[in-house]
């Protein structure tokens, strides 16, 4: 087999493999535009007159919009707080490492490795006692903690890339730590900041274990809404598909925007 033929065949194989792995998403989006009858039709229907009814219905469903609102509030606010707490720490650990820094970072990572089932029982009891159960504030407090290790590790790796001369020069000019952090370091790592924020948003948006255990109608997010479809409306595939599509679209946008830094985030800054 000549190199050219092999190359073409491998490319075709690649296209097929990619279509196969993307197919479930394509099929779901498509089902969102079907009527309930077309959605369950056998053989499966590929071409049909699309309806926007399912999407309209999801977006005007008071339940759905309130879960959507919870998702947005919890993920945005918790990302903000994770930055507020994490950036100063990452700045100190990345630009001014001491012999203790490695230990601190490992400890931070170990908190991320802690299985959620190891903390869920006390959280349920404490949240109920403090009236944080089923509240946006409670979920924000928790998601801040989930995102904090990611912010510290990832931002540390970005801060560590700032040329030391730049920081030294500013300090010689008399800038105090706050000015170095806000005026020089943070502007220098803006792309990293954006990527980290997007990853935090994705993880908060998709989190399920904590929210299903600690929230009810007042603070539940979209993953819980979708899970509810199985019990209440499991047979309405088109509606379910439209709701699912709307729930994952924000993550796709965030994920594709952060694609270049995705590996760095997923490996806590280990792979650049």
Question: Would you state the structure tokens that stand for residue 86, as one six-digit string?
Answer: 């994490």
What is the distance between the alpha carbons of residues 133 and 127, in angstroms, rounded to a whole number? Answer: 5
- Could you give the C-alpha distances from 48 to 22, 51, 104, 111, 189, in angstroms and in order? 21, 9, 58, 50, 48
- Residue 204 has phi, psi (to 5 degrees) of -70, -40
Question: Would you state the structure tokens that stand for residue 81, as one six-digit string?
Answer: 């707080």
Please give the DSSP secondary-structure letter assigned to residue 44.
P
Please give the DSSP secondary-structure letter assigned to residue 221.
-
Q: Which stretch binds another protein (CB under 8 A): 49-57, 130-138, 184-192, 244-252?
A: 244-252
Comparing CB distances to another protein, the nearer of 66 and 250 is 250
Asked if residue 224 binds another protein (CB under 8 A), the reply is yes
Q: Taking CB under 8 A as the rule, which mask of x and - marks residues 149-188 in contact with another protein?
A: x--x-----------x--xx--------x-----------
What is the distance between the alpha carbons of residues 29 and 173, in angstroms, rounded to a whole number? Answer: 57
Q: Which stretch binds another protein (CB under 8 A): 10-18, 47-55, 62-70, 183-191?
A: 10-18
* Binding residues among 45-84 for another protein as defined by CB under 8 A: none
* Binding residues among 120-149 for another protein as defined by CB under 8 A: 120-126, 141-142, 144-145, 148-149
Question: Closest approach of Cβ 202 to another protein, in Å?
Answer: 7
Question: Closest approach of Cβ 112 to another protein, in Å?
Answer: 8
Judged by CB under 8 A, the residue of 118, 163, 174, 187 near another protein is 118
| Residue 39: HSE in the Cβ half-sphere, 13 Å Cα cutoff | 20
What is the distance between the alpha carbons of residues 49 and 240, in angstroms, rounded to a whole number? Answer: 19
Question: Closest approach of Cβ 117 to another protein, in Å?
Answer: 4
Question: Would you state the structure tokens that stand for residue 15, as one six-digit string?
Answer: 């296209």
Comparing CB distances to another protein, the nearer of 56 and 272 is 272
Question: Closest approach of Cβ 190 to another protein, in Å?
Answer: 20
**How many chain residues touch another protein (CB under 8 A)?**
93
Question: Would you state the structure tokens that stand for residue 160, as one six-digit string?
Answer: 């560590």
Compute, in degrees rounded to 10, the torsion defined by CA atoms 219, 223, 225, 227. Answer: -130
Q: Can you count the helices (H) and strands (E) in the chain? A: 15, 0
Q: Which stretch binds another protein (CB under 8 A): 41-49, 61-69, 131-139, 186-194?
A: 41-49
* Binding residues among 84-113 for another protein as defined by CB under 8 A: 85-86, 88-89, 91-93, 95-96, 98, 104, 107-108, 111, 113
Asked if residue 200 binds another protein (CB under 8 A), the reply is no
What is the distance between the alpha carbons of residues 126 and 121, in angstroms, rounded to a whole number? Answer: 9
């Amino acid at each position: 087999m000549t190199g050219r033929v092999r190359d073409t065949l491998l490319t075709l194989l690649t296209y097929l493999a990619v279509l196969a792995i993307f197919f479930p998403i394509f099929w779901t989006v498509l089902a969102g535009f079907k009527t309930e009858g077309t959605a369950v039709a056998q053989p499966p229907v590929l071409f049909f007159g699309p309806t926007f009814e399912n999407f309209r219905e999801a977006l005007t469903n008071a339940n759905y919009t309130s879960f959507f609102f919870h998702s947005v509030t919890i993920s945005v606010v918790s990302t903000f707080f994770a930055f507020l707490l994490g950036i100063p720490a990452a700045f100190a650990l990345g630009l001014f490492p001491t012999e203790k820094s490695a230990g601190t970072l490992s400890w931070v990572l170990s908190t991320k490795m802690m299985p959620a089932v190891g903390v869920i029982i006390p959280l349920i009891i404490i949240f109920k006692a403090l009236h944080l159960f089923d509240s946006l504030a409670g979920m924000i407090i928790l998601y801040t903690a989930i995102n904090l290790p990611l912010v510290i590790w990832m931002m540390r790796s970005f801060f560590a890339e700032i040329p030391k001369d730049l920081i030294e020069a500013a300090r010689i000019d008399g800038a105090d730590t706050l000015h170095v952090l806000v005026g020089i370091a943070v502007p220098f790592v803006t792309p990293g900041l954006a990527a980290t924020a997007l990853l935090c948003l994705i993880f908060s948006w998709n989190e399920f274990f904590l929210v299903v255990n600690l929230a009810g109608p007042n603070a539940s997010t979209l993953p819980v809404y979708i899970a509810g479809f199985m019990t209440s409306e499991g047979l309405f595939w088109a509606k379910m598909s439209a709701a699912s599509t709307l729930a994952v679209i924000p993550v796709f946008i965030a994920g594709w925007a952060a694609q270049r830094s995705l590996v760095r985030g997923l490996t806590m800054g280990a792979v650049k």
